[in-house]
Structure 1
Amino acid sequence: MAAPSALRDDASLVSHAVAELARRTHFPVAFGGLEHNGAVHVTTIVGARTRSIDGLVVHASRGLGGRALVERRPRMTLDYRTSRSITHDYDRAILGEGIATLFAVPVLVGGAARGVLYCGSWAQSPVDDVQARPAFDVAGELGVELHVRAEVERRLADTPAPEGGLGAGAREEIRESYAQLRSIAATIGDDTVRRRLEDVEARLAALTGDAPSASVDADLHLSRREIDVLACAAVGSTNGEIAASLGLRETTVKSYLASAMSKLDASTRHAAVTRARRAGLLP
């Protein structure tokens, strides 16, 4: 079972996702939650006119959301009241809110369903692919956030912190995690999600405990992409591997490396990484 603090973090991620769902889609009601012990616990609701959905717990295979959870694919009903394709265990909550059309999208993490996001409307509202896309995007972004945070927390938990600072092996583990996190963040289009990932990057960078060298120019600044490329180079990735990781052309990677090396007054990528670490720009 997850620690209470982890559950609170999960709840905040769901809260943000549901708010985004309401903002990006045409549905007046949005709600959702994550799976715990075989059931989705709804923790955030936006736009509801009643309190009938409050505290809703949807078990696997039951109702529309339970099917979406088990089947790991979106499910929709245009007329919830008369639908014969789902069980009606949760009529009191859904019909109590007056919902007619209900759309349930699973949140997938590493191929496993970790939760469900719902969109609902009080009138029958057909949904085409264009209208559904924002819901898919929000669920996908939430899945990425959950995956990245879980992976970072796992690595941090597995990293020993001996007295006197981190050992060489632990430092390299943090640097590898940092590079992977930046490569994931580089693929995220949502600014809010990317800023959250950058906050986690800062935590990882701070764990090395290295203070910026006094000999380093305090005004030194690298672009986000230059740091992305250097972070990957720092763990031994080739230009081709960096390009594939960040979704760039190899020539573009070379250009970012050359620019970073110039700013850092370094003649090799190894020297650039060393100077960036001394400047506190890399862990």
Structure 2
Amino acid sequence: MDAQAGKDEDAQAVADAVAELARRTRFPVAFGGLARGDAITVTSVQGARTHHLDGLVVEATRGLGGRAFVEKRPRLAVDYRTSRSITHDYDRPVLSEGISTLFAVPVIVAGRSRGVLYCGSWGQSTVGDVVARPAFAVAQELATELRVRDEVRRRLAAMPPAPASVAPLAPAVQEELRESFAELRSLAAAVTDASLRDRLAQLEQRLTSISRPADALAPDGAGVRLSPRETDVLACAALGSTNGEIAATLQLKEVTVKSYLQSAMAKLDASTRHAAVAKARRAGILP
């Protein structure tokens, strides 16, 4: 994937988040964007009556969003026009839109500010938990989406092409591939975007093809179809994780993990989890 395609996908993720922010908070105006260097470029606007916010570039530390970005915490201006806690570099676009109350929430990915989401109203409004909680949730969901996208891009860039014939891999390399596969499965569980899930699936297939043993697709594993959650659980079990550890990783109840594991074992006609893992590897389901 080229850099522009990645930027376009991230911009779409922001647009989805802004739409969700407007829906959940019920504030009439919502907008946001990601950082490009030391500035946030607004790429999505919902509910505005003018075009003054379109393409707005907010420098770090400047204005309400710039402070939220640098301080990595939400910032609120109940009366934006008279607020003394921010610089007023962006009064023209904000006030031209008629915004009075403005709430800015940073999008934090791996401890780093990646962007800012805003919601605002044309009159002075209080921002209590009813507004703050959903705004925080949307920012966190966007952060998770960006983190997954970053990880997929990193792994795709580092992934060698699948060879026509697979020679045995060194044990350390094989183990790293299996850990990567399990991690990708856990990331995929938190993703709702269909295109991103498809790319994760493609990456998982490449991992399994690179590490597939010579007896892959053996008769005892051919044709087996595990559900996504059965594959998640078995991928963690392949690393030696206990049911409790798998439950914590996948945010499931331990009894649910046990149920998925038993179902996978039944489909693979295996009496133990170790046998199930071995058959799944031969079938090309796990690396």
Q: State the TM bucket, normalised to the shorter chain.
A: 0.7 to 0.9
Task: Provide the residue aligned with 2:122 in structure 1.
Answer: 122
Distance change >3 Å, CA 165–CA 78, structure 1 → 2: farther
Matched, 1:178 2:181: yes
SS of alignment partner, residue 116 of structure 2 = strand
Distance change >3 Å, CA 7–CA 268, structure 1 → 2: same
Task: Provide the residue aligned with 2:277 in structure 1.
Answer: 273
Report the Cα distance in structure 1 between the residues aligned to 2:131 and 2:144, rounded to whole angstroms.
22
| Residue identity matched to 2:61 | S
SS of alignment partner, residue 95 of structure 1 = helix
Report the Cα distance in structure 2 between the residues aligned to 1:110 and 1:74, rounded to whole angstroms.
17
Show the 5 A alignment for 1:79-228: 79-161=79-161, 163-164=163-164, 168=169, 172-186=175-189, 188=190, 192-193=192-193, 195=194, 198-207=197-206, 208-209=208-209, 213=217, 215=219, 216=221, 218=223, 220-228=224-232
What RMSD over aligned residues (CA atoms) do the two structures have, in Å? Answer: 2.6
User: Structure 1 length normalisation: TM-score?
Assistant: 0.87
Show the 5 A alignment for 1:248-267: 248-267=252-271
* Number of equivalences: 277
- Residue by residue over 1:36-92, the C-alpha shift from the partner in whole angstroms, topping out at 9 and shown as x without a partner, is 111101111111110001110001110000000011011111111111111100011
Distance change >3 Å, CA 171–CA 119, structure 1 → 2: farther
Task: Provide the residue aligned with 1:72 in structure 2.
Answer: 72
Distance change >3 Å, CA 159–CA 173, structure 1 → 2: farther
Show the 5 A alignment for 1:26-65: 26-65=26-65
Report the Cα distance in structure 1 between the residues aligned to 2:281 and 2:96, rounded to whole angstroms.
58
Task: Provide the residue aligned with 2:5 in structure 1.
Answer: 5
How far is the alpha carbon of 1:272 from its aligned partner?
1.4
Deviates more, 1:128-137 or 1:246-255: 246-255
How far is the alpha carbon of 1:166 from its aligned partner?
6.6
Distance change >3 Å, CA 166–CA 88, structure 1 → 2: farther
Distance change >3 Å, CA 71–CA 40, structure 1 → 2: same
Distance change >3 Å, CA 176–CA 277, structure 1 → 2: same
Partners of 2:25 and 2:130 within 8 A in 1: no
Deviates more, 1:104-113 or 1:153-162: 153-162
- Gap regions ≥5 residues in structure 1: none
User: Structure 2 length normalisation: TM-score?
Assistant: 0.86
Report the Cα distance in structure 2 between the residues aligned to 1:280 and 1:222, rounded to whole angstroms.
11
How far is the alpha carbon of 1:163 from its aligned partner?
4.3
Deviates more, 1:221-230 or 1:103-112: 221-230
- Residue by residue over 1:118-154, the C-alpha shift from the partner in whole angstroms, topping out at 9 and shown as x without a partner, is 1111111211112211111110011111112212221
Task: Provide the residue aligned with 1:245 in structure 2.
Answer: 249
Deviates more, 1:270-279 or 1:221-230: 270-279
Distance change >3 Å, CA 27–CA 68, structure 1 → 2: same
Report the Cα distance in structure 2 between the residues aligned to 1:213 and 1:74, rounded to whole angstroms.
53
SS of alignment partner, residue 192 of structure 1 = coil
Report the Cα distance in structure 2 between the residues aligned to 1:87 and 1:282, rounded to whole angstroms.
54
Report the Cα distance in structure 2 between the residues aligned to 1:13 and 1:165, rounded to whole angstroms.
38
Identity of aligned residues (%): 63
Report the Cα distance in structure 2 between the residues aligned to 1:39 and 1:217, rounded to whole angstroms.
53
- Gap regions ≥5 residues in structure 2: none
| Residue identity matched to 1:18 | V
